[in-house]
Structure 1
Amino acid sequence: MLALPSQMTLNEASAALKVLLPAISAEPGPQVQLDASTLTHIDTATLSVLLACRRRASALQRSFSVQHAPARLVQLAKLYGVQDLLELQTA
């Protein structure tokens, strides 16, 4: 399981992608799980990062999910209609 940073807003999105995308490619196994338990600062860029991670997992033919999603992330994903794509699992 790959851990997400505590802050993943527009300011951190590019740096997060530079770390997460290669880590997803290197992650062994049939599924990619991201741990969002420490994620506290989010905005719509967070959704963009997570969708890019999902695309990478899909390109590698792996399932994708976000574990321990904070309520704010779930609300934002529902607002934008991407909660099913991100496979958000709450704590």
Structure 2
Amino acid sequence: MLTLPAVLTHAASAVFARGLPQAVQSQPAEVVADASALQQFDSSALAVLLECRRQAMAAGKAFAVHGAPARLRELASLYGVQALIPPVATAATVAAA
């Protein structure tokens, strides 16, 4: 599981995104981004999740998000990208990640 930090704003997202290629490659067949720790974020968090999804798909891996705060889901809906950052389908997937 790829854990997002508590703060993922414009200033922090570039630093976090630099580590995505290695983090995605180290994941099994499905990359699960754990967003449950997010407390302070802006639309940059969506950009990070979309980049994570892009890298997962390029590596032939599935992608899902666990624990997305309501505000993050609202932002995704507002920007029309909610289908691109799907929630984890089952608790078993989270436990296996």
**What's the TM-score once normalised by structure 2's chain length?**
0.85
Gapped regions of structure 1 (runs ≥ 5): none
Q: Which runs of 4+ in 1 moved over 6 A?
A: none
Q: Which residue of structure 1 lines up, in the alignment, with residue 13 of structure 2?
A: 13
Between Structure 1 and Structure 2, how many residues are aligned? 88
Q: Which residue of structure 2 lines up, in the alignment, with residue 76 of structure 1?
A: 75
Could you report, residue by residue, the CA deviation over 1:32-80 in whole angstroms, capped at 9, with x for unpaired residues?
0011111011111111111000000000011101101000100000000
Gapped regions of structure 2 (runs ≥ 5): 89-97
Tell me the C-alpha RMSD between the 2 structures.
1.1
**What's the TM-score once normalised by structure 1's chain length?**
0.91
How do 1:1-91 residues align onto structure 2 when only pairs under 5 Å count?
1-27=1-27, 29-89=28-88
- The SS at the match of 1:88 is coil
Identify, as 1 or 2, the structure richer in strand: 1
Deviates more, 1:49-58 or 1:16-25: 16-25
